[in-house]
């Protein structure tokens, strides 16, 4: 099926702004959340990690070096891992200037501030637990923070929240703690292994180069823990032709730095 056939057959592909609309604003900042919102995209993806003093923050790399000015502010703290910095130290960093001078003053957001902004904008969250093996207990801590922020109420859990990870054990832990939360496994388990994942994963989310029609069908053929067919979201698709191709393969979601490019391609513009 082509993308337009998929669209007319009633299958809608969800477009998720990867690290926010991160082609247009510094990734994983509140500016990137707002950029997605302003372009009209409710779903944002992010990456959750933990500081030295146990605070949850939004950052993709384990190190602060690429996306902040940490090397200038703390020159002798190589390799500048987020796990070695306190939240007070991280608050001193500029997480926007590397991307463009107009974003000077953006910070590495706390999970709390991030949730507040997504809620304020009426958006939805595909939240990644990044390298959870480095942060023992981060599953329960993350759920506690979601709860405090009002994100574990029925409508949020049902419609506005998915937790994903490359780490299957972390997802098992999330599912064990709160069975109603949807989870997504980042990667591509073998067809033989898929039924095991279906016990605790609602989604299987592979790299776009790994997606085939047969694989999408296999995922759709299994029911997840909430007794609905499992879904497949793929990443990171930033060009129109690839978006049209994976939509034609039947994916349920496309995770992209350029949500507008994906939308235009799927609408056949
Ligand atoms: O959402 C999928 C994608 O974020 C996984 O890769 O490295 O960008 O976290 P990465
Ligand atoms: Ca991610």
Given the CA of residue 235, which atom of ligand 1 is nearest to it?
Answer: 2
Residue 12: the pLDDT is: 87
Please state, rounded to an integer, the average pLDDT across all residues of the chain: 96
The pLDDT tens digits of the residues spanning 63-103 come to 999 999 999 999 999 999 999 999 999 999 999 999 999 99
Distance from residue 3's CA to the centre of ligand 2 (Å): 25
Given the CA of residue 255, which atom of ligand 1 is nearest to it?
Answer: 1
Distance from residue 162's CA to the centre of ligand 1 (Å): 14
Enter the pTM of the model.
0.96
201 lines ligand 1 (CB under 6 A): no
106 lines ligand 1 (CB under 6 A): no
Distance from residue 8's CA to the centre of ligand 2 (Å): 30
- For the chain, the C-alpha Rg in angstroms (whole number) is 18
Return the number of other C-beta atoms located less than 10 Å from residue 151's C-beta.
19
Residue 8: the pLDDT is: 43
Residue 1: the pLDDT is: 46
58 lines ligand 1 (CB under 6 A): no
The pLDDT tens digits of the residues spanning 152-172 come to 999 999 999 999 999 999 999
Element housing 56 (H / E): strand 56-58
Catalytic residue among 18, 37, 107, 208: 18
The pLDDT tens digits of the residues spanning 186-229 come to 999 999 999 999 999 999 999 999 999 999 999 999 999 999 99
Choosing from 15, 18, 59, 259 the residue with most ligand 1 atoms within 8 A of its CB, the one to mutate for a pocket test is 18
Element housing 126 (H / E): strand 124-129
- Name the CA dihedral angle for 250, 12, 114, 131, rounded to a multiple of 10 degrees: -10
Helix (H, G, I), strand (E, B) or coil at 263: helix
Given the CA of residue 164, which atom of ligand 1 is nearest to it?
Answer: 1
61 lines ligand 1 (CB under 6 A): no
**Which listed CATH number (3.20.20.190, 3.40.50.920, 3.30.420.10, 1.10.645.10) goes with 1-18+187-269?**
3.20.20.190
Asked about 60 being catalytic, the answer comes back as yes
* pLDDT surpassing 80 at residue 3: no
Given the CA of residue 205, which atom of ligand 1 is nearest to it?
Answer: 2
Q: Phi, psi (5° rounding) for residue 171?
A: -70, -40
225 neighbors 199 (Cβ within 8 angstroms): yes
Distance from residue 99's CA to the centre of ligand 2 (Å): 18
């Amino acid at each position: 099926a082509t993308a337009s056939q998929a669209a007319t057959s009633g299958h809608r592909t969800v477009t998720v702004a990867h690290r926010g609309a991160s082609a247009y604003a510094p990734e994983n900042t509140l500016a990137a959340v707002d950029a997605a919102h302003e372009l009209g995209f409710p779903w944002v993806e992010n990456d959750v990690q933990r500081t030295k003093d146990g605070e949850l923050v939004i950052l993709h790399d384990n190190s602060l070096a690429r996306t902040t000015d940490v090397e200038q502010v703390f020159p002798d703290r190589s390799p500048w891992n987020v796990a070695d910095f306190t939240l007070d130290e991280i608050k001193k960093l500029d997480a926007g200037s590397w991307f463009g001078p107009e974003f000077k003053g953006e910070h590495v957001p706390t999970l709390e501030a991030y949730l507040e902004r997504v809620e304020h904008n009426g958006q939805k969250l595909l939240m990644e637990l990044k390298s959870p093996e480095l942060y023992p207990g981060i599953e329960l801590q993350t759920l506690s923070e979601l709860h405090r922020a009002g994100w574990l109420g029925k409508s949020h859990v049902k419609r506005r929240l998915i937790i994903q990870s490359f780490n299957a054990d972390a997802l098992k832990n999330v599912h064990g703690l709160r069975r109603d939360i949807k989870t997504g496994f980042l990667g591509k388990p073998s067809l033989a292994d898929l039924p095991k994942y279906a016990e605790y994963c609602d989604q299987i989310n592979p790299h776009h180069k790994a997606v085939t029609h047969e694989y999408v069908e296999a995922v759709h053929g299994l029911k997840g823990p909430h007794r609905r067919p499992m879904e497949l979201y793929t990443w990171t698709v930033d060009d129109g032709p690839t978006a049209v191709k994976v939509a034609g393969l039947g994916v349920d979601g496309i995770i992209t730095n350029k949500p507008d490019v994906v939308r235009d391609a799927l609408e056949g513009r």
